[in-house]
Structure 1
Amino acid sequence: MRKLRQNQPFIFQQDNAPCHRAKKVVEWFAEQKIECLKWPANSPDLNCIENLWSWLDRELAKVGPRSLDELKRIVPDILEKVPKSITENLVDSIPRRINECLKNKGGVTRY
């Protein structure tokens, strides 16, 4: 959030996966005074970040890092260049995601 120059209050969203509920993770968020969105366990994943990971995978494949150090150096550079249209499309897809989830009564969606 600092990198995005986000100075206004925010609530962090995650999917309540077991690794996100680990004691150290919960303590870290508390120490940082970051409020997390309450999220039911075993809920459908409506977070569009998965689509961003797919985009990142494709961009990484174009570069083809050959070591962990190279990967660590390349990923931030690629993420700095995410086209605004990608993030706007992902955010704009949220109502469709929610509607499809409701239509499927919380079951599997194409997202």
Structure 2
Amino acid sequence: MEDGAPVYGSYIARDCREDHGLPKLEWPAQSPDLNPIENLWKQMKDRVQNKFKQGMKLEHLEPIFRQTWADIPIESINALIESIPHRLEDLNAKKFKSTRY
């Protein structure tokens, strides 16, 4: 999927896509992201940033990520999944333009 970002117009990207027989799928710029995993990644990022201390070594991040992932309640994940019909309704109401998601 390509959203019109300049990087996709480079000859390197075009040649790679052609060499591998990949079709070019146009995607509107600023399109709504309906994938609930994006919300989950944001939660992860916020939680990890709260635990990460200045000067901490990168090797200390893995246990922080693992524990942060384990600490996310299954109810939060289920709520994101259950939000999909509402996301689609909102998208339809906005005539497929940006939504609150």
TM-score with structure 2 length normalisation? 0.63
What's the CA shift for 1:40? 6.0
Q: Deviations over 1:47-80 (max 9, x none)?
A: 0112111211221133115232222332123213
Classify 1:91/1:77 alpha carbon distance in 2 versus 1 (closer, same or farther; 3 Å). same
Q: Which has the higher helix share?
A: 2
What's the CA shift for 1:44? 3.1
The unaligned stretches of length 5 or more in structure 1 are 1-15, 28-38
TM-score with structure 1 length normalisation? 0.58
**8 Å CA contact 2:44, 2:68 repeated in 1:** yes
**Structure 1 counterpart SS, 2:100:** coil
What is the count of residue pairs matched by the alignment?
80
Identical residues among aligned pairs (%) = 30
Larger Rg: 2
1:27-46, aligned counterparts within 5 Å? 41-42=27-28, 44-46=32-34
Q: Provide the aligned C-alpha RMSD in A.
A: 2.6
The unaligned stretches of length 5 or more in structure 2 are 4-12
